Structure 1
């Protein structure tokens, strides 16, 4: 299963916010056996979001979009996704009801905040998703996500994104398996061995220096678990490996 990740936000491009969502999603998808083949960050521009979503929905098995949901002027992800599929936004009744219940519960739990601040919520705007999409109610926040065909739209707030991803995690999978070894050998000292094991066993091999640690990582990946096992065995015989 080939998956692409699209993160949306001017704050990410400016470096004001660290893009931890992309890393977390890549880890979760890879752990489930999917192959993440593309990660891209785009600004809060509807036409840019629409262009990427429109092209990627055809090119990949699934696209995960995170960020740009809410009721502020720069929350344009839902608009972009709808435009990318050539449909309009519509108010989802289930999402709208969930938003109103969440706001009512917040007001009840925080009477002083509700009294001191004018908490205006445009429930219709918050609950608008692309026509034909399946809503994903927000377990820990306000703004819903959605699933439009093979495009999964999640919030940008990490805690909310994590909780919503759990709702659809079983949709992602694949046959990719991997094993990671540790070696004290410098990356340049094992180049020939990595090339040989890759060619001999038809596996993908990555070598990753680890900053601040004395060991480097060697990751072996394939859709064939037997090939991974054989490649790892060969590496143990030809490269100095440190056991966990």
Structure 2
């Protein structure tokens, strides 16, 4: 399974808000064996969101959208997703019922709070008000981190893939000096290797076979100068 993550918000693009949602979602999807192949941030602009959702939903198994939910003037994500999938927005009965169970009467709710694309499956917001939605392979979640995390966990079982195992070796050698051994371990074993320089060099080995990864890691450790 592969996926794209789409985060929405002018504040993200201006650098006034750190995009922790994207990092968290990528980590959780990776934990479930899902390959995240795209992370994109777009402004609170209907046409930009709709265009990106339409492109990504055809290219990936799942698209996770976060941000821009609610009834205020700049909360346009749900309308944009509806546009991308050529649906209308309508009040969702399940969302209204859940909100009523949480103590919200219709009079308490701003107009549009429970409006979702026609045919969408509502996702209840356990720690907030604005509901999320699933429409085909598009998952729409709030931007508030606590709400996004709780909502994702309620649908996490729908994201499955092949588990990838990972090991890291911290090496006290220049990255350029390691090229021959990186090439050799990749040729000898069915693993991928990432090299991340800094004060030391981190070599990250990954494989879908745990035994192969352990063997490759042991082989490489015997041939590099590990940092203490």
| Aligned residue number for residue 130 of structure 1 | 117
| Aligned residue number for residue 204 of structure 1 | 192
Q: Are positions 1:233 and 2:221 aligned together? A: no
| Aligned residue number for residue 75 of structure 1 | 75
| Aligned residue number for residue 121 of structure 1 | 109
Secondary structure of 2:87's counterpart equals coil
Q: Are positions 1:85 and 2:85 aligned together? A: yes
Taking the TM superposition and a 5 Å limit, the aligned residue runs for 1:26-175 are: 26-102=26-102, 104=104, 121-122=109-110, 124-175=111-162
Secondary structure of 1:238's counterpart equals coil
* Structure 2 alignment gaps of length 5 or more: none
**Structure 2 length-normalised TM:** 0.90
CA distance, structure 1, for counterparts of residue 201 and residue 152 of structure 2: 31
| Aligned residue number for residue 21 of structure 2 | 21
- Deviation per CA, 1:100-144: give whole Å up to 9, x if none: 444549xxxxxxxxxxxxx9632x501111111110000100111
- Deviation per CA, 1:2-24: give whole Å up to 9, x if none: 11100000000001100000001
- Deviation per CA, 1:53-76: give whole Å up to 9, x if none: 111111111111100001110101
CA distance, structure 2, for counterparts of residue 168 and residue 32 of structure 1: 12
Q: Are positions 1:12 and 2:12 aligned together? A: yes
Specify whether residues 104 and 79 from structure 1 end up closer, same or farther in structure 2 by C-alpha distance, changes over 3 A only.
Answer: closer
* Structure 1 alignment gaps of length 5 or more: 106-118
Specify whether residues 218 and 103 from structure 1 end up closer, same or farther in structure 2 by C-alpha distance, changes over 3 A only.
Answer: farther
CA distance, structure 2, for counterparts of residue 175 and residue 197 of structure 1: 22
Contact 2:49 2:77 in 1 (8 A): yes
Give aligned pairs, total: 226
Specify whether residues 178 and 241 from structure 1 end up closer, same or farther in structure 2 by C-alpha distance, changes over 3 A only.
Answer: farther
How far the C-alpha of 1:182 sits from its partner, in A, is 2.8
CA distance, structure 2, for counterparts of residue 187 and residue 163 of structure 1: 40
How far the C-alpha of 1:230 sits from its partner, in A, is 3.1
- Deviation per CA, 1:173-204: give whole Å up to 9, x if none: 21141222231324333222222222332422
Secondary structure of 1:240's counterpart equals coil
Contact 1:181 1:242 in 2 (8 A): no
How far the C-alpha of 1:149 sits from its partner, in A, is 0.8
Specify whether residues 180 and 216 from structure 1 end up closer, same or farther in structure 2 by C-alpha distance, changes over 3 A only.
Answer: farther
CA RMSD of aligned residues (A): 2.1
CA distance, structure 1, for counterparts of residue 209 and residue 171 of structure 2: 27
1 or 2, which has the higher helix percentage?
Answer: 1
How far the C-alpha of 1:161 sits from its partner, in A, is 0.6
